[in-house]
Structure 1
């Protein structure tokens, strides 16, 4: 049999774009312009262009730039979703990724995105609900053992903001003293010299920090 006798599956990438809004972890959705599921808000995604994309990550960068204006953001591969039933157009393979973006960066780049809490995403097309759930589980699991949650913050942040983002991602309250001690022991941060920020809760200007490395993974829970 020749290659032409075997039907070719649809191959796409889908990106779970996560951000923080009103102290809740949210997913950014984009209304679909075409059928199937036209006008439904779904994950950001598109076809892989074999003549243009060198790999799936190239497709992610191109689609994010074209559909949201975002460029140079952190993203990580989640896993593949493939079946004859996930897309009414035919046998379909989606290579899924998740991306973490601070809300100000998202707002500056894209104005057509809809933010929904990951716990209340509403009705999503295809198997986007399953993909979203897998991304949130990955973030919550890996976030407890890495600096991944900090990617939802600006480059410079306070210790209280860092603790708050961990609590939001992991879904539980953390003891302040224990959290700060673990962060110090792990040597993850560097102090931003010459800069402080006045916050509502603090009597004096608060020390600012940045990550020493883009992503650090450690062998114990934060």
Structure 2
């Protein structure tokens, strides 16, 4: 009996998913934070072949038995490496070729995450000997990375900088409570340039994505500064004009 004579249920019951060669399929994470007045990305040192000893992005193969979709894989790997769930996670794009991995034809789905650096305890294991934050230069990182991870990071940096121009995303790189000066500084760090204070505060006010924390101010050498946080359940805000426009 040919497959055309089968019901769909019968066809699926007899289908051999291993009848065709399939690529190695993984998810890699570009996890950004701001620390020491600079944008950083999380890297892990590989503890096994291939590329043993080289620095790479955290990630791993899709667990087809437990991961319902690509987002589930990304969230699982994020929790394994940072111990937390990022307030912002976005799929970047797919990267695949017959040459990116010496084990064979491989495809990875890259994500980028934004996370505040406080309260993160970096984890390693599962094929990684160490984990660290590495500063971002003009276009990426200045060390040799495994596979095509340098290209993935450069792509993510460009995506982030483009989106920062007209969205509220940098707020996710801060601690839960922050001042407007903290927020402006994060924008400037990611964009790599200064922003006019009055224009910046006008954009933030128009975006209406923050709420004052009643009765809480940061005290220092200057006048006490009001503390803010992102409104609960607030989606990403898109400004009517780019920063500095």
Using the size of structure 1 for normalisation, the TM-score is 0.91
Q: Equivalents in 2 of 1:165, 1:70: separation in Å?
A: 21
After superposition, give the CA deviation of every residue in 1:100-140 in whole Å (9 maximum; x if it has no partner).
Answer: 1111132x354842111121341100000000001101110
Select which of 211, 214, 219 maps to 2:230: 211
Which residue in 2 is equivalent to 1:175?
A: 196
Select which of 55, 58, 66 maps to 1:44: 58
Q: Equivalents in 1 of 2:75, 2:241: separation in Å?
A: 32
Q: Flag structure 1 segments of 5+ consecutive residues without an equivalent.
A: none
Deviation of 1:47 (Å): 0.2
Which residue in 2 is equivalent to 1:144?
A: 165
1:133 to 1:47, Cα distance in 2 relative to 1, 3 A: same
Give the conservation status (yes or no) of the 8 Å contact 1:70–1:110: no
Which residue in 2 is equivalent to 1:160?
A: 181
1:66 to 1:190, Cα distance in 2 relative to 1, 3 A: closer
Secondary structure, aligned partner of 2:103 = coil
Q: Equivalents in 1 of 2:32, 2:90: separation in Å?
A: 12
Q: Equivalents in 1 of 2:123, 2:182: separation in Å?
A: 24
Secondary structure, aligned partner of 2:119 = helix
Q: Equivalents in 2 of 1:214, 1:153: separation in Å?
A: 16
Deviation of 1:6 (Å): 2.9
Written as runs of structure 1 = structure 2, the 5 A alignment for 1:19-58 is 19-58=33-72
Based on CA coordinates, which of the two structures has the bigger radius of gyration?
2
Q: Flag structure 2 segments of 5+ consecutive residues without an equivalent.
A: 1-15, 125-129
Using the size of structure 2 for normalisation, the TM-score is 0.83
User: How many aligned positions are there?
Assistant: 218
Deviates more, 1:66-75 or 1:113-122: 66-75
Deviation of 1:70 (Å): 2.6
Deviation of 1:186 (Å): 2.7
Q: Equivalents in 2 of 1:33, 1:134: separation in Å?
A: 25
Which residue in 2 is equivalent to 1:97?
A: 111
Select which of 2, 5, 18 maps to 2:32: 18
Which residue in 2 is equivalent to 1:71?
A: 85
Note the aligned Cα RMSD (angstroms): 1.8
